[in-house]
Amino acid sequence: MKKMLLALGLSSALLGGSVTWAEEAVTATAPTEEIAVLDVTEELSTSDTEAVAAEALAEPVVAEAIAAEEATLDTGDTAWILVSTALVLLMTIPGLALFYGGMVRKKNVLSTMAHSFVAAAVVSLVWVVIGYTLAFGEGNAFIGSLDKFMLSGITTDALSGTIPEILFVIFQMTFAIITVAIISGSIAERMKFGAFVAFITIWVIVVYAPITHWVWGGGWLGNDGALDFAGGTVVHINSGVAGLVAAYMLGKRMGLGRESMAPHNLALTVVGASLIWVGWFGFNGGSALGANGSAGYALVVTQVAAAAAAISWLITEKIARGKGSVLGAASGAVAGLVVITPAAGFVTVGGALAMGLIGGVVCFWGITGLKRALKADDSLDAFGLHGVGGIVGALLTAVFASSFIMGDDAPTNVLHQLWIQLEGVLATIAYSAILTFIILKVIDLVIGIRVESDDERMGLDLSQHGERVE
């Protein structure tokens, strides 16, 4: 638009203005003076040309200033995001900590829960120092700049839409926290605690922040039209793939296939899954960034998808194994929550129902048949639930995105949108896998990533933390 206005102004100067244009210009500047009619062949002076160009260049600045003046704080939106922030943090501590903690052997329960707890501590610091600016700062198509390093320039009055930007900072922080914590499900019972801390510190900066920028921070995937309402690619595919790579690099747990690896306390897992389910309302509903109909609809489709996936998982498990387990119901609900995440703001209830039913079946296959085929010891099925569920959800978003919800923003060509979604899936898989491998390889060379055999047999609670559950 700037170039167009400038070109029009300059061409008018070269060709000469019409009599009518000249009369209006003189009238506007000197209404009490005699109006002089310009000859159509008279050219504008250099000063007039520069004035026209300056006016054209100034218009976008004025428009931006007006837009800034119109942006106002909405207390209802702010209140909802405050609540949503707390709900998303609840998903990690205590939700995911309990969900994972109940599924490991008794000698590793504290170390497993510590992964989620320390993720909240480490990522919080990394995020405010450099993570947020790399994800949401002004930059290029691939990474944000350092203009908001240590949250520089973010005052209490600064807004992000209708909410304080500082609130947006911590809301997005909780997404980074749970993404890192999900990875711990793949490496449970055999990774050094110090290596885990080093890994997540680097991973948030090098992997999570750039992918977040691609999708939500003005990067290339978002500009291409990729649909990811609350983190199908950013959170779930990203963490699932990273977990799978980490599982390969760590190797299988000692005694796997020969010794019992049964969960020590499924009651903790069910409580954890329940907290995750409740917290997911903040995860998906909060991603509307407002207390509005979009948030309300996101809550409904989230509930429907989780319920549908739990049922389809139980039915599939009953057919395959003869019984539907409580762990299966909890895992199915999580699978449905993962699948609906990228689509929560784009699909109808019917679409959510279909996505949940599909997600429950596919994720059951992900932790059984696919897991056996991959031959990776994904201890607590981070890839089978989050990686597979995220991929399914991202692709089905293109299929079920509805104009009933999205209006004119809805995709008009399903195949084209499916390609865009696939592009995001493949880019996330490739980037996350390669960078995760590099990070872990460097850490392994420096301090090692797997505990010693004797420490693993003793249990990580004692060997890494000097504590145990009696």
What's the pLDDT tens digit per position in 290-334?
A: 999 999 999 999 999 999 999 999 999 999 999 999 999 999 999
Place 17 in a pLDDT band, splitting at 50, 70 and 90.
very low
- Distance between CA atoms of 309 and 76, rounded to whole angstroms? 32
Q: What is the mean pLDDT of the chain?
A: 88
Once rounded to an integer, what is the mean pLDDT over residues 179-194?
96
What residues does 450 pair with on adjacent strands?
Answer: 191
Rounded average pLDDT over 11-34: 36
* Residue 194: CB atoms within 10 Å: 13
Q: In whole angstroms, give the CA distance from residue 276 to residue 181.
A: 13
* Residue count of the chain: 470
Lowest mean pLDDT among 23-27, 44-48, 207-211: 23-27
Per-residue model confidence (pLDDT) at position 130: 97
Higher pLDDT among residues 159 and 61, named by residue: 159
pLDDT, position 32: 39
Return d(Cα 238, Cα 430) in angstroms, integer. 10
- Secondary structure of residue 36 in the 3-state scheme: coil
Full 3-state SS string of 77-121: HHHHHHHHHHHHHHHHHHHHHHHHHCCCCHHHHHHHHHHHHHHHH
DSSP class of residue 150 equals G
What is the model's pTM? 0.84
What is the rounded CA–CA span in Å between residue 41 and residue 105? 91
382-404: average pLDDT: 96
- Whole-number pLDDT of residue 15: 33
Higher pLDDT, 318 or 53: 318
The single-letter code of the amino acid at 81 is I
By percentage, how much of the chain surpasses pLDDT 70? Answer: 85
**Residue 339 pLDDT > 90, yes or no?**
yes
Q: What is the mean pLDDT of residues 193-221?
A: 97
User: In DSSP terms, which residues pair with 159 in a beta bridge?
Assistant: 164
The rounded Cα 70 to chain-centroid distance in angstroms is: 28
pLDDT the model gives residue 77:
96
pLDDT at 260: 87
Contacts 24+ apart (CB under 8 A), 21-27: none
- CA distances (Å), origin 115, targets 111, 133, 207, 327, 455: 7, 25, 19, 21, 17
ω into 31 cis (within 30 of 0):
no
The fold of the 77-465 domain, in CATH, is Ammonium transporter fold (1.10.3430)
Q: Quote the Cα angle for 321-327-331, to 5°.
A: 100
Distance CA 222, CA 39 (A): 52
Comparing 69 with 95, the larger pLDDT belongs to 95
pLDDT in tens, 96-136: 999 999 999 999 999 999 999 999 999 999 999 999 999 99
Query: Which DSSP category does 259 fall into?
Result: B
Q: How confident is the model at residue 450 (pLDDT cuts 50, 70, 90)?
A: very high
- For residues 170 and 351, what is the distance between their CA atoms, to the nearest angstrom? 31
Let me know if 151 is exposed, middle or buried by CB neighbors in 10 A (0-12, 13-18, 19+).
Answer: middle
Which pLDDT score is estimated for 83? 97
One-letter amino acid for residue 13 of the chain: A
Distance between CA atoms of residues 465 and 470, nearest Å: 15
- Over residues 248-283, the pLDDT tens digits come to 999 999 989 888 889 999 999 999 999 999 999 999
Give the mean model confidence (pLDDT) for residues 359-377.
Answer: 95
* Distance (Å) of CA 77 to CA 81, 85, 160, 292: 6, 12, 11, 8
Using 50, 70 and 90 to split pLDDT, how confident is the model at 60? low
Instruction: Report the alpha-carbon distance of residue 5 to residue 58 in Å, rounded.
Output: 10
Find out whether 440 and 199 touch, Cβ atoms under 8 Å.
Answer: yes
For the chain, domain boundaries:
2-69, 77-465
Peptide bond preceding 94 in cis form (omega within 30 of 0): yes
CA distance 231 to 340: 10
| 57-71, 257-271, 385-399, 426-440: least confidently modelled range | 57-71
In this prediction, residue 20 carries a pLDDT of 37
Q: Which two tokens stand for residue 134?
A: 């790399």
pLDDT of 358: 97
Quote the pLDDT of residue 48: 52
**CA–CA distance, 201 with 127 (Å, rounded to integer):** 10
In angstroms, the CA 393 to CA 381 distance is 17
User: Token pair of 49, please?
Assistant: 């040309």
* Amino acid at residue number 203: W
AA identity, residue 287? S
Averaged pLDDT, 389-395: 97
